[in-house]
Amino acid sequence: MRLSLLSLPTSLSSRSPSVKDFCHFSTFSRLRPNPASAVPQIFCSSSLPSVPITRSFSSLSSSISGDDQIQRGNYAGVRLEETVRHGTQKSRLDSWISSQIEGVSRARIQSSIKAGLVLVNGNAVSKVSHVIKAGDKVNCTIAELQPLSAEPEDIPLDIVFEDAHVLVVNKPAHMVVHPAPGNANGTLVNGILHYCNLPTMAFPTSDTFSEADDCSDEEFDSTSSNGNSCEGMSRSTGASVRPGIVHRLDKGTSGLLVVAKDEHSHAHLSQQFKKHTIHRIYISLTSGVPSSNSGRVDIPIARDPNNRIRMIAVSNPSNHMRARHAASRYKAVEVLGGGGSALVQWRLETGRTHQIRAHAKYLGIPLLGDETYGGTKDMALSLLRPRVPSSIHPHLSQLVSKLERPCLHAFSLGFEHPHTGENMKFSCPPPSDFTEILTQLRKLGAENRCG
């Protein structure tokens, strides 16, 4: 593989109830926002200067990833020249390039293709879904990052708790936390800016949040954890800023998320996430039932080399995979659909990208509706149909057709209040799409309660 650096043309570079309580649909009390609460004053300015890349590379994984002069995510001008190896199956152009260049988001690669910066066999290709095959010669130059900004939007927010220092929000499914290419509007950040009566905010030029599916959903938000990068910013400040989001949830995941409203709160909460002292319980509906009612998964997680938007649990990762330690505890709360599904509780010890989804797949119980990790509609039907009368099959098919996201909900969140030291704990029932499927699965067959 040849990998080098080019200068881009100017025209292209300008741009605490238990889960069992929930099973009986207990009502949770919530503290609603106080109109007199202080307006948040924390925003994190970019601490990463623009560092020019002055080296040529023969291998991105061995050279770029270890070079401390390279700003994280700043791969503008990097050029890939590679012939598709014999034996390689036909694949989409954007997917193949993504598998060859580590550290560059698929959304950014798609932008490079659309900008005319990718050649296949000497011809410019502008279609990201262009199919390549063994023997094709691909030349790709990574485009400049496009500037991002977040505008205040009047988006209804479910505020579970608020005081002068923190917000606890119940994020709906299908909402992305950060603006990113393909998701510039309608994010949680857009809604928070409006809720707090704050102006449009520019984001630092970074590839960190550029995945279209908000894949960078690691619980501990390391990009803003450095205390030196956070300042109390006035509304008139023109610097690049971003709200005090301490952790993230995947786009398809609903549930609780905490937001810092001042510098001290942001730094204190970030340390709690880093030290894994945050209390987090998730609930999910799975395809199949765990072989053990409860257990602990301690398997590292790495980026899938064949699919950048997916993580994989690897028991013996090779050096180039850069796997990270990941540990989850699980418990089957209830068997559903005659044994074709289960309500499973997860307690996170670490907070890696897609941790629960990857560990669930590793256990052989992918989440219902999680097409990326094997919890497909066909799989759900294959598990449930043999366990229910044939007369119910049409209803079952209709139920499964409603699966539009992984059935995963951040049910409980606990942390030490950054100013008072009080132990705060919040719980929130899942949204209607989750509970509707749960209710119907309970009706499909005889259930067995688990310990």
Specify the pLDDT at position 31: 35
Phi and psi torsions of 305, nearest 5°: -65, -20
**Above pLDDT 70, what percent of the chain?**
70
pTM above 0.75, yes or no: no
DSSP string, 9-59: PHHHH-----HHHHHTT-----PPPPTTSPPP-EEEPP----------BS-
Q: For residue 80, what pLDDT band results from cuts at 50, 70 and 90?
A: confident
Specify the pLDDT at position 312: 92
Report the pLDDT averaged over residues 344-348: 97
Specify the pLDDT at position 57: 30
Residue 422 clears pLDDT 80, i.e. is over it: yes
* 57 and 77 Cβ atoms separated by less than 8 Å: no
Give, as one character, the DSSP assignment of residue 366.
Answer: P
Specify the pLDDT at position 32: 34
Q: What is the pLDDT of residues 88-129, one digit of tens each?
A: 888 899 889 988 887 677 778 888 899 899 999 999 999 988
Q: What is the pLDDT of residues 392-412, one digit of tens each?
A: 899 889 889 989 999 999 999
Rg over CA atoms, the chain: 23
Q: What is the pLDDT of residues 308-317, one digit of tens each?
A: 789 999 987 6
Residue 60 clears pLDDT 60, i.e. is over it: no
Residue 245 clears pLDDT 70, i.e. is over it: yes
Specify the pLDDT at position 16: 47
Distance CA 366, CA 212 (A): 22
Q: For residue 48, what pLDDT band results from cuts at 50, 70 and 90?
A: very low
Q: Would residue 21 show up in a list of annotated catalytic residues for this protein?
A: no
Tell me which of 282 and 105 has the higher pLDDT.
282
Specify the pLDDT at position 320: 56
Specify the pLDDT at position 142: 85
Residue 148 clears pLDDT 90, i.e. is over it: no
Specify the pLDDT at position 263: 83
Q: For residue 168, what pLDDT band results from cuts at 50, 70 and 90?
A: very high
DSSP string, 206-274: -STT--TT-----SS-GGG--GGGEEE--TT--S---B-B-----TT-EEEEEEE-SHHHHHHHHHHHH
Specify the pLDDT at position 181: 67
Report the pLDDT averaged over residues 39-59: 31
250, 262, 370, 433: which one is catalytic?
Answer: 250
Residue 11 clears pLDDT 60, i.e. is over it: no
